Homo-oligomer: A and B are copies of this chain.
Amino acid sequence: MTNRKAHRTSADHASSPQDAPLPAPLPNANAPLQPPSRSGELAERNVLVDLVAVVVAVSHDEPRVLTLDDGASLPAGPFGSDARSLQTGLRDWVERQTHHPLGYVEQLYTFADRDRTGADGQRVMSISYLALTREQVERRAQAEGTWSSWYACFPWEDWRDGQPAVVREVLAPALTQWAAAAPSAMAREQRRRRASAAFGLDGAPWHDEMVLQRYELLHEARLTPESLRNVPEAERPAVIAPGRAMTGDHRRILATGVARLRGKIKYRPVVFELMPETFTLLDLQKAVEALAGRRTHKQNFRRLVEQQELVEETSEMSTTRVGRPARLFRFREEVLLERAIAGTKPAG
């Protein structure tokens, strides 16, 4: 249980499939950087930099995200220059704030558009991170923030019970209308195609990782509350997409995190960061399904996990409520060293 905590995985450059964990920090890259060639102007000093974290856990078959302000915002805080690295800065800060030890941490994206301004009109740059942890129920009392299912923010992303009604009844018609409202025939066709590809309309397949594109498409179609903030009452469209909006562009950041995680579980064994020490294969499957938002074939899931030797048996069996008791398994930490490949792939 605590052994797991010592085995902090972290992949800062984690976008390529095969990053192995780096146990030790890199020694000495600390030669002073040359001032970049031909930098005529001075660099901008008046930029606020802060860190935003998408902290994910899974509990009760739901993917949860750590939120503040009653689900309205993600934990965020200033980037302190004392931190050794962004990684550790984020880790320390989140752990201090929330009393949740973080497992895997990876950088998501740096947001710095001009319209991101702080209280005094200053430009705010946010470096966002994805962090995986296990929801520690016993620590909840002292922890700050609340865990909420990310499907509260993105109801259209949960296909575990088939296509959600929202998609068919609200989004599809609204997007069709948006497409039809484009000025030129080509633009209409283009919008139609984008909507189909993103939301699996017109027989197109559903791609679970396209979370960000879907959110941005809804944003562009002005179907989100966030996109309507400066739009006068009169010009607002009739419908808006259901799902809880968030402060600033936090929902976009969340979408980025969800997209990244959904993509990642397919080729890297990161789910285990979200699992308890031991678990049944069904537990594991449920966790993957919760994250991916879609069902998987049970037998094939087992075959995949076992033939890839991601787990090892324990001698214990689950104390199941009903049905045949299942064996408890444990993640084989060795795979992090042995292989660079492998993941836990749902249908895709």
Number of copies of chain A assembled together = 2
Is A325 located at the chain interface by the 8 A CB criterion?
no
A337 in complex: contacting residue of B81, B197, B219, CB < 8 Å: B197
Evaluate contact between B47 and A49: CB separation under 8 angstroms. Answer: yes
A50 to B69, CA, bound (A): 33
Taken together as a complex, chains A and B put the C-alpha atoms of A213 and B338 apart, in Å, by 14
A237 interface hit (Cβ, 8 Å): no
Q: Mark A242-260, 1 if CB is under 8 A from B, else 0.
A: 0000011100100010011
Asked if A138 is at the interface of the complex by the 8 Å CB criterion, the answer is no
- Give the residues in chain B near A118, CB-CB below 8 Å: 32-33, 35
Instruction: Tell me the chain A residues, 241-283 only, with Cβ under 8 Å from chain B.
Output: 247-249, 252, 256, 259-260, 262-263
- Write the chain B residue with the least CB distance to A124: B33
Main secondary structure of the interface of A (DSSP, over half): loop
**Any chain B CB within 8 A of the CB of A176?**
no
Whether B43 lies near A49 (C-beta < 8 A) is: yes
- CB pair B23–A190 under 8 Å, yes or no, is yes
The residues of B that contact A113 with a CB separation of less than 8 Å are 29, 84-86
Pick from B36, B73, B209, B259: contact of A77, CB under 8 Å? B36
Other-chain residue from B68, B144, B222, B260 in contact with A16 (beta carbon distance below 8 A): B260
Least distance between A6 CB and chain B CB atoms (Å): 13
- Knowing A81-B123, A193-B338, A227-B29, the reply to whether A212 touches B35 (Cβ < 8 A) is no
Stretch among A104-112, A167-175, A303-311, A312-320 lining the B interface: A104-112
Task: Mark out the residues of chain A between 228 and 247 whose CB falls within 8 Å of any chain B CB in the assembled complex.
Answer: 228-231, 247
Beyond contacts A29-B248, A33-B124: 17 other A-B pairs, Cβ-Cβ < 8 A, are A16-B263, A17-B263, A18-B207, A20-B210, A23-B190, A27-B222, A28-B228, A28-B229, A31-B226, A31-B230, A36-B50, A39-B77, A44-B49, A44-B79, A49-B49, A81-B114, A194-B337
Q: Which A positions have Cβ atoms within 8 angstroms of B? A: 12-13, 15-20, 22-24, 26-39, 41-50, 52, 68-69, 73, 75-86, 97, 107, 109-110, 112-119, 121, 123-125, 127, 144, 190, 193-194, 197-198, 207, 209-213, 216, 219-220, 222, 226-231, 247-249, 252, 256, 259-260, 262-263, 337-341
- The 9 A-B residue pairs whose C-beta atoms are closest, nearest first, are A30-B115, A36-B76, A43-B78, A33-B248, A31-B229, A43-B48, A15-B15, A18-B210, A44-B81
